[in-house]
Every structure is written in structure tokens, then in C-alpha cells.
Structure 1
Amino acid sequence: MHVQEWLDTVPAAAVYALVALVIGLESLGIPLPGEIVLVSAALLSSQHGGIDPVVLGACASAGAVVGDSIGYAIGRKGGRPLLAWLGRKFPRHFSEGHVATAERSFEKWGMWAVFFGRFVALLRIFAGPLAGVLRMPYWKFLTANVLGGVIWAGGTTTVIYYVGVVAESWLKRFSWLGLVAAVLVGLASMLVVRRKAKKAAAERADAEPEPVTAAE
């Protein structure tokens, strides 16, 4: 079956719902590949006439905002014991080091940490629960959350959609090969951004002064 014929069998409503659900759960604090799902869906939209990129971006934005808000409420109610519980359940993502790094970002940048955190995988998972734990005023959190969610979801959808359109015009004759190549392009760009973010975080951590011990 040609890839276009296969894509025509995918219900658009199912794609919208899946994107909103995965991004919402990731924003709530559950480590899921929300960015990968959004990139893949945007590529599908560029080849599937039934998937509207505007609706897709709106669903992704809604999932991000609602998920972050629920995570904020849970964090505000659960407090630090919640972070300890998450650390036991998801040690790779909620280790003490990651929590400390996220806390320093929030204490230093406040609303900007929520806004820019939407573009960084680790902070995207932490933003809602940690803002609640640190009792950031909800109106500040919501403002940064909405702006970050809309720009991240809408911008990602737009860029990847047009990348897919261009890729399809060059690779459509190769059917599945064309789709795979387009997906790899999207994932490669995402990994480059993520690596740069990790490198910047490591450099900030190294630049922080070591605690001074009492003289013997």
C-alpha cells in the first residue's frame, strides 16, 4: 500500500486526541515523548489532507496548557513528598540532581523558567508540578504556561509541517522511504536542540561556586 493511501485511513480525530493526550500527560509530570509525537503528527499533517495543522497545533497547545495546570495543582497539594515519590518512580527523570537543577532555574528565572521550560525536555516535565511545589502564584504560572505552550506547540507544528511539505515534494516517489527520511530529519533537529540545552545546563552547573567548608 502506498504511504498516502495508508495515511488516508488514519482518522484525524484520533491523531488530534493522541497528540493532546500525550503532551498533556507529559506536561503533568509523566515522562512521555510529547515532542516526538507532535513532530510525527505534524509530518503526517503535511502528507494527509484530512489532518489540519492549525487544529493539530491548537490541540497540542491545549494539551500543554491543561496538563501543566493539572501538574501545578498536584504539585501545590502534594508538596515535596510528591517530588520524593516521583524520584522513586522515575529516578532517571526526577533524581535529586535534576530536581535541584530545576529548582535553581525556577528560583533564578521565575516565570521565564516556565516559559522557556516548554522548549527543554527536562523542564517541560518539571514545570507544572515544581511550580506548584514552590507555590508560584497561579496567574504568573498560567501566563507563562499559555504563552510557552502556544508558541512551542504552534511553532513546532508550523516548522515541521512545512519541512514535511518540502520533503514530500522531493521524496514522494519513494513512498515509505520518504516518510522515514522526513521523520529522521525532524528527530535529528530535536536531538541537536536537546544536546545544546543539556550542554548549557552542564556549563551553568560547573560555573556555580562550590560550597565553602568550615576551616579546620
Structure 2
Amino acid sequence: MEGFGALHIDQWIAAIPPLAVYLTIGLIIGLESLGIPLPGEIALVSATLLTLHPSSAVQWEWIAVAAMTGAIVGDSIGYSIGRKFGKPLFVWLGKKFPKHFGPNHLATAERAFERWGMWAVFFGRFIALLRIFAGPLAGALKMPYAKFLTANALGGICWAGGTTAAIHYLGEAASHFLSQFAWIGLGVALLFGIGVSLFIKHRAGKAHVSTEDTAIEAADKH
């Protein structure tokens, strides 16, 4: 039964069309970058883990390319939308989707842009909140498109390429070292991806507290 189950899983994984995986990843990350709250990071990690299975024809390099493309194109579309509709768009979104676009979320994102400028777009690729806001907010704040595109492209390449490469090679090394426990290698890779995500969120949280303290100090002076 165990052999039959493993064979069944192998056949199922082998039957997944690689092109469908690439297009799905590009679409999810593109929509998230455009401003729609989707789990882009989870999708990217899950798809990369798929490349570690010997029966899978999916290649991590093409997952990275799809993710980079989705990130850059999605952010650029979001920038155009934000530039056209401006801040009233965020007010409307805040009323419709307060969980993701509430006043506190917008204020945090605006403070990040005021403090870091174009680098908020770059580092925003690694932070869930800014990943959704970066494109539309940069457009609404009239950031020059050349600066935005530079930061957007660099952030997309570093985030997508770095995440897929790290997870793939770490998982591959772990699987090779623990060949008799292949799934442990996958688990190690997944934990690594989660650990990186939590570390980034921790740093983002510290930055958020710092910007709040700065705002409070400025208000007290006035």
C-alpha cells in the first residue's frame, strides 16, 4: 500500500503541466503586486518546493522568471492605477476592505515612503503590507516612474530570484544529505522559507514602531 501511495503521488506530480505552474505563479504575484491581497509568498514557496520532487518537470529557474515578471508587471499596473485615481482610491478601498486597506495600513505605508522614498518600493517587495501598497501608493504620491521602475525591478528580481534559489538549493542539499528521508529535506526547506519570512516581518515591525515613535515626537513638538 505504501508503494502504491508513493507511486500515485509521483504520477500526480509528474502530470502537473509546468507551464500551468509558471502562469499561475506569475498571475498570483502579479495580482498581489497590483494591490489585490493574495498569498504570493506562500504560492512562491510552495511552487519552488515542487521542483525538489524527482517526478516533477517544474524548474525553479522558470518559477523565478514567472515571479519576477508578475512582480514587475503587476507593480507597474498598480502604479498606473494609483497615479490616475490618487489617494481617493485608498479611501474607497479602506471603506470596502478595512482589513487590508484601513487608515492604519495606509498611514504605515505612507510613513515608509516618506522615510525611504524609492527604497520603500524595493524593500516593500519583502514585506507583505508594502508589497500590496507599493505600486498604487507610489503612483498616488507621484513618484517619478523611472525611480519606481528601477526599485520595482530590483526588488522583484532579488525577492523572486533569491527566494526560489535559496529554497531550491537548501532543499536539494538537505534531500541529498538525508536521501533516505527525502521529505525531511522538503520540510527543512519549508521551515527555512518560513523563518526568512518571519525575520523580515520582525524587522518590518521594528521599523513600523520606529516610524510611529518619530511621528509622535513630531506631533509633541507642534
Distance 2:96 2:187 in 1: 33
Distance 1:170 1:83 in 2: 50
Which ranges of 4 or more aligned residues in structure 1 deviate by more than 6 Å?
A: none
How has the CA–CA distance of structure 1 residues 182 and 159 changed in structure 2, closer, same or farther, with 3 Å as cutoff? closer
Q: Secondary structure at the match of 1:15?
A: helix
Specify the alignment match of 1:25 in structure 2.
31
Counterpart of 2:101 (choices 70, 94, 103) is 94
Q: Is the 8 A contact 2:175 2:181 kept in 1?
A: no
Specify the alignment match of 2:60 in structure 1.
53
Q: How many residues align?
A: 214
Distance 1:148 1:186 in 2: 17
Specify the alignment match of 2:152 in structure 1.
145
Q: Is the 8 A contact 2:175 2:184 kept in 1?
A: no
Counterpart of 1:106 (choices 102, 107, 113) is 113
Distance 1:180 1:86 in 2: 38
Specify the alignment match of 1:211 in structure 2.
219
Greater relative contact order (Cα < 8 A, sep 6+): 1
Distance 1:5 1:173 in 2: 20
Counterpart residue type for residue 219 of structure 2? P
Question: Residue by residue, what CA displacement relative to the aligned partner does 1:34-85 show, whole Å, maximum 9, x if unpaired?
Answer: 0111111111112254112111111100000000011011111111111012
Distance 2:168 2:183 in 1: 17
How has the CA–CA distance of structure 1 residues 57 and 35 changed in structure 2, closer, same or farther, with 3 Å as cutoff? same
1:132 aligns with 2:170: no
Question: Residue by residue, what CA displacement relative to the aligned partner does 1:9-38 show, whole Å, maximum 9, x if unpaired?
Answer: 221111101110110010000111101111
Distance 1:190 1:179 in 2: 17
Stretches of structure 1 that go unaligned for 5 or more consecutive residues are none
Specify the alignment match of 2:161 in structure 1.
154
Specify the alignment match of 1:62 in structure 2.
69
Counterpart of 1:200 (choices 185, 207, 210) is 207
Report percent identity of matched pairs. Answer: 55
Q: Secondary structure at the match of 1:69?
A: helix
Specify the alignment match of 1:83 in structure 2.
90
Root-mean-square deviation (CA), in Å? 2.1
Q: Secondary structure at the match of 1:146?
A: helix
Bigger share in helix:
2
Counterpart residue type for residue 71 of structure 1? G
Stretches of structure 2 that go unaligned for 5 or more consecutive residues are none
TM-score of the pair, normalised by structure 1? 0.89
Specify the alignment match of 1:43 in structure 2.
49
Question: Residue by residue, what CA displacement relative to the aligned partner does 1:86-137 show, whole Å, maximum 9, x if unpaired?
Answer: 1123212212122112112212322111111111111111000001101111
Q: Secondary structure at the match of 1:65?
A: helix
Q: Is the 8 A contact 2:126 2:200 kept in 1?
A: no
Counterpart residue type for residue 11 of structure 1? P
Counterpart of 1:188 (choices 180, 188, 195) is 195
Distance 1:163 1:4 in 2: 22
Q: Is the 8 A contact 1:72 1:128 kept in 2?
A: yes
